[in-house]
Amino acid sequence: MNFPILSTLIFLPLISSFFIFLSKDKKNNFSSIYISLFSSIATFLLSLFLWYSLDANTAEFQFVEEKSWINNFIKFKLGVDGISILFIVLTAFITPICIISCINSVKDRVKEFLIAILVLETFMIGVFCSLDLVIFYLFFEGGLIPMFLIIGVWGGSRRVYSAFKFFLFTLLGSVLMLVAIIVIYWLTGTTDITEIYEIKIPKEHQNLLWLAFLSSFAVKMPMWPVHTWLPDAHVEAPTAGSVILAAILLKMAGYGFLRFSIPMFPYASEFFTPLIFSLSIIAIIYTSLVALMQEDMKKLIAYSSVAHMGYVTLGIFTFTKQGIEGSIYQMISHGLISAALFLCVGVVYDRLHSRLISTYGGLVNYLPKYSLLFLIFALAALGLPGTTGFLGEFLILTGTFQKSYLAAILATLGVVLGAAYMLWLTKRVIFGVTQNPKIQTLSDVNKSEIIMLATLAFFVIFFGFYPMPLMETFSVSVNGLIDNYQLALNNR
Amino acid sequence: MINNLNILLPEIFLSLSIFSILMLGVFIKKSFNIVFNLTSLILILTIAIILNNPNNEVKIFLDSFIRDSFSNYFKILILISSLFVLNSSKNFITENNLDKFEYPIIILLSILGMFFMVSSNDLILFYLGLELQSLSLYILASIDRDNLRSSESGIKYFVLSALSSGLLLYGCSLLYGFTGSTNFDLIANQLTKENVGAVFAMVFILVGLAFKVSAVPFHMWTPDVYEGAPTSITNYFAVVPKVAGLALLIKFMLIPFSNILLEWQTILIFISIASMILGAVAAIVQKNIKRLLAYSSIGHIGYALAGVATGEISGYESSIVYISIYVIMNIGAFSCLYLLKKDGQYKENISDLSGISKKHPLLAISLLIILFSMAGVPPLGGFFAKFYIFTAVLEKEMYALAIIGLLTTVISAFYYLKIIKTIYFDDSFIILEKVKNKTAQVSIFLSCSILLTFFLYPAILSNIVSSLFAN
């Protein structure tokens, strides 16, 4: 395989954003929209091709590209395995949806917005492809710049506060990871993670390094108690920004745990499992309760994201096949569902410019198609069997029961709470009595909105009934991950 | 003897041309333009002469003057940055009635001083070069002599800098007294840890040098002088003398004080941490861009000194990479100031940038790139500068320095973000006057494209720098 397919995948959006930068159209931004749509769909097709040609029967990294980069000691190394390919496909799938959504919701500076989205896509795909710690850090942090601008320029009324909070929280978490990366370099003499897997980091250094990585991933995840930037960022970000934030940026941390924390620091991962378990359980129960009390729809979904990410960390640190597979599945499913829910909020926000639950009520009478779609996603979010949301949570809980009954029982409580806030939200927004006369004048979803939401709904239900394509992709890689982890622990 | 002169060719060429254009300036009326253009030509020719000279290490004049790849690299960096600083500020100079023919000549004189500084291998030559540079800078700071603030900043700089020069000279004489020589190599042989007097001398010399690069706690003059002096001079101050000062610090650690590194390190670590913290915290409340850039430069010097404080070759290399990228960023940032013109005046407050992204998208995106790079956000050039520094610092297992340094980058990110917020998020929008300043635009473009594409092949700069220490 000589064609550098991963580099193409990473840099295609960047190059097309450069063309958008050069394009000149004064009135409507057709050419920018077409370029970005075309390039993002091309990226998506390329990622599908990558998925198709990936050999799922091996845990090895495939399509590896290597180039000397900084003084021969840091290599520009890319590669994918069964775990990362799904996140790449998810990223490439969500980006065109965001671009379609901005046709309706972004009114000024469309060109710059599309550039920001495409640059962000480059960084996001880069995160999931990189096999070198420095490259990973580069992409992981680089994504802050476009996201900061997306929140700050196109956001709501408190956008400045939210954008700063988002940027500084994430940067503060990440600098410690940078220290850890450099320390790993001096300990092992390389930053290539496949080599680090072989060399094995000395046991006495693992705990501190693991904590440094945690500081970054915990903020990005976000885990309780550093989750507070997320509701602010979500509420103020424009719809497309919220979608990308919820669907992909949050997954970077979960992916980081799987790719870096567990394989590189097996002892520390085992040692800190009780910490992760407690933080996850607190996140699940506490943020679910907080979500119950929200009056802002976006805030409610944001808190529910924190709770769902709590399941993900819980599942990852069970180190069981069910738990880790459930976590990956939950991340993909949450990527689809939360993206859809934010788009749903965006649809009514574009019409009434309010995110408050109290503004709405009885939408089912006037917007039947919209209500159906909203209902599907709400039910998927609470984990109704037959949707992707169910399978992830079910597998995670199965995994957790093998490790700790207490944690599993408490986490199951979160499922009930999740049903409570989602159903209550649906009741207040979709059903109930119409108080607000403006709702009667609303138009139902238009074509582009139908395209976005129906595609997402199709995949949520399709993969809910038939999860095999996803499961088969990452199954072998997950086995390899757990085997290496067990091997490392047995060798002590 | 004739061979020796050959080695000294860049300095001889520079001084002879300074005298000739000085004559030209005196005898021709309205000679600013001619002198200015000749100055650019001289700078380019000097670069060509240095590049044509061989790089091997030669010491001449009783080993007091040294020519090697280290000094040549710094000379070229000084020349290129002066070239960009001078040319992008030409419009600014003429529009603010600073177009006296002495202006470029004094800049050339200070460059000559810096040449001797980076090439010195002897305390006397070092001091002479330093004073030639400082005296030229005093005049430059107060060149706008009818302006109260410019004169004030010149006087302030003169008084404080003269004091520090005095301390430096005192240190030099102590060093001579305790080691019996002014030559760097001989001093290095004589110095041992037991030589308490020499440690004293070292502290005095360090104070003098820290003042020249404006490191905390000898930074007090920086914000006032940066704000008071005309922007074109501030630009020069922020870029060129820092390069020479850092070169000297590295040189002192490499040769004369290589035996008492531990004592140096303790002080340098303190200075570095203090500069990083002050640079980050004090800049937050600033409203004037030049003042803010002053504090930001204090912070940047803190990072560069962190590399020097390691006392390892890899640390010095990282500092040189850092200062090179710092030069690129600062030339870009100051060139943006030459385009901020409204109502016939050049603006220098952050509030004057409010919402310029709507009408001046190119200027806005350039500032965005430069500021994010200064904040050290990947994948821009500024990140790699910091990355090299912290790699070197962590190699020596100086964890506290690394962690404090990285936490201050988060704090300093805040004030860079504040400017970006003013440019991009503010609802109001300011429409600037059209400024015809091609060279400033070219400098901004070059600076931004280097910062943006640095990540493609970062080894190019570090390879050059590591070749300086090859022998």
> Is the dihedral angle over the CA atoms B262, B268, B273, B276 positive or is it negative?
negative
- Tokens for A26? 């004064």
Which residues have C-beta within 8 Å of that of residue B343, sequence separation ≥ 6? B433
DSSP 8-state symbol, A4: -
| CB within 8 Å: B421 and A182 | no
What phi and psi, each to the nearest 5 degrees, are found at residue A221? -60, -50
The residue in chain A having the minimum alpha-carbon distance to the alpha carbon of residue B393 is: A182
pLDDT at A457: 92
Which residues have C-beta within 8 Å of that of residue A15, sequence separation ≥ 6? A39
Specify the DSSP element, H or E, that contains B296: helix B289-309
pTM (predicted TM-score): 0.92
The yes-or-no verdict on residue A294 having pLDDT over 70 is yes
What stretches of A265-404 show up as alpha helix (H) in DSSP? 266-271, 273-292, 297-316, 321-352, 363-366, 368-381, 388-403
Which residues have C-beta within 8 Å of that of residue A12, sequence separation ≥ 6? A39, A42, A43, A46
The yes-or-no verdict on residue A491 having pLDDT over 80 is no
Q: Which residues of B touch A71 (CB under 8 A)?
A: 459, 462-463, 466
The residue in chain B having the minimum alpha-carbon distance to the alpha carbon of residue A142 is: B378
| CB within 8 Å: B410 and A168 | yes
What stretches of A57-190 show up as alpha helix (H) in DSSP? 82-105, 110-129, 133-142, 144-154, 159-188
Q: What is the pLDDT averaged over residues A174-193?
A: 89
Count of residues in chain B: 471
Residue B349's DSSP bridge partners are B288
pLDDT band at B445 (very low <50, low <70, confident <90, very high): very high
A215: nearest Cα among A270, A175, A275: A175
Would you call B45 an interface residue with chain A, using a CB distance cutoff of 8 Å?
Answer: no
Instruction: Name the residue type at position A151.
Output: I
pLDDT band at B373 (very low <50, low <70, confident <90, very high): very high
Would you call B383 an interface residue with chain A, using a CB distance cutoff of 8 Å?
Answer: yes
Q: Which is higher by pLDDT, B5 or B313? A: B313
pLDDT band at B110 (very low <50, low <70, confident <90, very high): very high
DSSP 8-state symbol, A248: I
User: Under a CB-based contact definition with an 8 Å cutoff, are residues A152 and B425 in contact?
Assistant: yes
Q: What is the pLDDT of residues B23-68, one digit of tens each?
A: 998 898 888 888 999 999 999 999 999 998 877 888 888 888 988 8
Give B271→chain A minimum CA distance, Å: 21
Give A25→chain B minimum CA distance, Å: 15
Coil, helix or strand at residue A83: helix
Q: Measure the CA–CA gap between B421 and A108, rounded to whole angstroms.
A: 17
Distance of CA A399 to the CA centre of its chain: 22
pLDDT band at B2 (very low <50, low <70, confident <90, very high): low
Q: Which residues of B touch A160 (CB under 8 A)?
A: 421, 425
pLDDT band at B311 (very low <50, low <70, confident <90, very high): confident
Q: What is the pLDDT averaged over residues A49-57?
A: 86
Would you call B467 an interface residue with chain A, using a CB distance cutoff of 8 Å?
Answer: no
Q: Which residue has the tokens 């300011």?
A: B430
What stretches of B96-147 show up as alpha helix (H) in DSSP? 102-119, 123-141
A36: nearest Cα among A123, A104, A119, A107: A119
- Over its C-alpha atoms, chain A yields an Rg (Å, rounded) of 22
The residue in chain B having the minimum alpha-carbon distance to the alpha carbon of residue A74 is: B459
Give A332→chain B minimum CA distance, Å: 27
pLDDT at B269: 92
Q: Measure the CA–CA gap between B360 and B345, rounded to whole angstroms.
A: 18
A249: nearest Cα among A173, A195, A186, A315: A173
Q: Measure the CA–CA gap between B171 and B187, rounded to whole angstroms.
A: 13
Angle ∠(A322,A326,A331) on CA atoms, nearest 5: 160
The residue in chain A having the minimum alpha-carbon distance to the alpha carbon of residue B416 is: A164
Give B188→chain A minimum CA distance, Å: 31
Q: What is the pLDDT of residues B189-243, one digit of tens each?
A: 888 777 788 888 888 999 999 998 888 888 888 999 999 889 999 999 999 999 9
User: Under a CB-based contact definition with an 8 Å cutoff, are residues A209 and A181 in contact?
Assistant: no
User: Under a CB-based contact definition with an 8 Å cutoff, are residues A395 and A401 in contact?
Assistant: no
Q: Measure the CA–CA gap between A404 and A412, rounded to whole angstroms.
A: 12
| CB within 8 Å: A175 and B407 | yes
Q: What is the pLDDT averaged over residues A243-269?
A: 90
Q: Which residues of A touch B414 (CB under 8 A)?
A: 164, 168
pLDDT above 90 as % of chain B: 47
Buried b / exposed e along B111-132 (16+ C-beta atoms within 10 A): bbbbbbbbbbbbbebbbebbbb
Q: Which residues of B touch A154 (CB under 8 A)?
A: none
User: Under a CB-based contact definition with an 8 Å cutoff, are residues B118 and B71 in contact?
Assistant: yes
pLDDT at B242: 92
Coil, helix or strand at residue B202: helix
Q: Measure the CA–CA gap between A136 and A256, rounded to whole angstroms.
A: 9
Give B89→chain A minimum CA distance, Å: 28
Q: What is the pLDDT of residues A66-75, one digit of tens each?
A: 888 876 678 8
Give A471→chain B minimum CA distance, Å: 34
Give B231→chain A minimum CA distance, Å: 29
Would you call B96 an interface residue with chain A, using a CB distance cutoff of 8 Å?
Answer: no
pLDDT at A34: 85
List the single residue in B361, B377, B394 with the smallest CB-CB distance to A186.
B394
Q: Which residues of B touch A70 (CB under 8 A)?
A: 384, 458-459, 462
Q: Measure the CA–CA gap between A154 and A239, rounded to whole angstroms.
A: 10
The yes-or-no verdict on residue B144 having pLDDT over 60 is yes
Q: What is the pLDDT averaged over residues A447-455?
A: 88
Q: Which residues of B touch A69 (CB under 8 A)?
A: 457-459
User: Under a CB-based contact definition with an 8 Å cutoff, are residues B331 and B447 in contact?
Assistant: yes
The residue in chain B having the minimum alpha-carbon distance to the alpha carbon of residue A183 is: B394
Q: Which residues of A touch B412 (CB under 8 A)?
A: none
User: Under a CB-based contact definition with an 8 Å cutoff, are residues A225 and A97 in contact?
Assistant: no
pLDDT at B295: 93
List the single residue in A71, A168, A182 with the smallest CB-CB distance to B394.
A182
The yes-or-no verdict on residue B291 having pLDDT over 60 is yes
Distance of CA B138 to the CA centre of its chain: 16
> Is the dihedral angle over the CA atoms A282, A285, A290, A294 positive or is it negative?
positive
- Tokens for A28? 């409507």
Greatest alpha-carbon pair distance for chain B in Å reads 68
Q: Measure the CA–CA gap between A174 and B276, rounded to whole angstroms.
A: 19
C-alpha distances in Å from residue A342, one per residue of A65, A155, A175, A480: 36, 14, 30, 35
pLDDT at A27: 67
pLDDT band at B398 (very low <50, low <70, confident <90, very high): confident
| CB within 8 Å: A182 and B391 | yes
pLDDT at B136: 92
pLDDT at B243: 93
Q: Measure the CA–CA gap between A125 and A117, rounded to whole angstroms.
A: 12
Q: What is the pLDDT averaged over residues B375-399?
A: 90
Distance of CA B216 to the CA centre of its chain: 16
Q: What is the pLDDT averaged over residues B348-373?
A: 88
State the Cα torsion A441-A447-A453-A456 to the nearest 10°: 170
Give B407→chain A minimum CA distance, Å: 7
Q: What is the pLDDT of residues B164-188, one digit of tens each?
A: 999 999 999 998 988 888 888 888 8
The yes-or-no verdict on residue A470 having pLDDT over 70 is yes
pLDDT at B192: 77
Q: Which is higher by pLDDT, A69 or B373? A: B373
The yes-or-no verdict on residue A481 having pLDDT over 80 is yes
State the Cα torsion B25-B27-B29-B33 to the nearest 10°: -30
pLDDT band at A105 (very low <50, low <70, confident <90, very high): confident
Q: What is the pLDDT averaged over residues A370-386?
A: 89
| CB within 8 Å: B410 and A175 | yes
- Tokens for B272? 């570095």
Q: What is the pLDDT of residues A384-434, one digit of tens each?
A: 888 888 888 899 999 999 888 898 899 888 889 989 999 998 888 888 888
What is the pairing mode between strands B341-342 and B345-346?
antiparallel
pLDDT at B112: 94
Q: Measure the CA–CA gap between A376 and A68, rounded to whole angstroms.
A: 49
Q: What is the pLDDT averaged over residues B320-343?
A: 91
Q: Which residue has the tokens 């709405």?
A: A360
